[in-house]
Amino acid sequence: MDEQNQTKFAFACITGAPNVGKSSILNKILGQKVAIVTPKPQTTRTTILGIHTEGNTQIAFTDTPGLLLPKDALSRNMVKSIQNAASGSDIVILVAEAGKKPKPAELSVIENLNKQKLPAILVINKIDLLKQKERMIPQMDAFSKLYTFNEILPVSAVSGDGVKDILSAVSKLAKPGPFMYDSDELTDQPERVICAEYIREQILNYMQQEIPHGVAVVIERFEETSEGIDADANIYCERDSHKGMLIGKNGQMLKQIRKSAQSALKDFFGVPVSLELWVKVKPDWRENEALIKNFGLNFEG
């Protein structure tokens, strides 16, 4: 087979501190939203695979939760999933925020990179928010002294500036080999999981403080009909007071969450979506390994 027609493939892990824009970068690369995005840290809970196929090159990008200090069984599992994703990857994409010194989470990633000697790209995101662009120069210098990155790329996930450069840099590092996924696949996420995540995204958008992080969404029924999609979901929270806030006065909060989730899911699936939502209390579920698994939050790498 001649080199031009030979297929290339790579697993690329997107990692970094919470809220640096990892999911936004993945969505921008794919040209479609497969990972939910909110302004709140820890929006991403599990690793999400986004598949980009162009010409003879396929890259499977793994979006990971933001690196954090584990404080319960859920976050301990999240940290484990990040470590598994990075160690099983061909390339690591470390995302940092423009103008900031290396954070403990980033230093932890670099420590592992130095052990494994993996090809790595440093992506400096949110350049659109940095008024003094020259502040990136000492930042790039600081990171360069910690690891020999294949490339350092300033980008804006919001505007899309520089995102194509990430794809180009990763594609250059892909090795000859067969595609691991069908060329028209965009994600490995089942439709039920996507549905649950879009509902959780709206809860994160509408609810304040600790409540959203103590919520899990489980799809109990998912049916494709001639008119679109019908789904039933249970929203699990940890306290009766949280349940009351999620439902809201006269059920208004839950109605708003349902309406917004239906609209977002219609955009994703391309057909009308009808949701029925119920709120249930499971005290301290984030410390319960069995419930974490029952809620579909499986972290095995």
pLDDT per position as a tens digit, 83-112? 555 567 899 999 999 999 998 888 988 988
pTM: 0.79
Structural domains in the chain, sorted by start: 8-176 (3.40.50.300), 191-294 (3.30.300.20)
Contact (Cβ atoms closer than 8 angstroms) between residue 218 and residue 236: yes
Judge whether residue 139 has pLDDT over 80.
yes
Contact 270, 194 (CB under 8 A): no
Q: CA-CA distance, 146 to 298, in Å (whole number)? A: 33
More confident residue, 153 or 69: 153
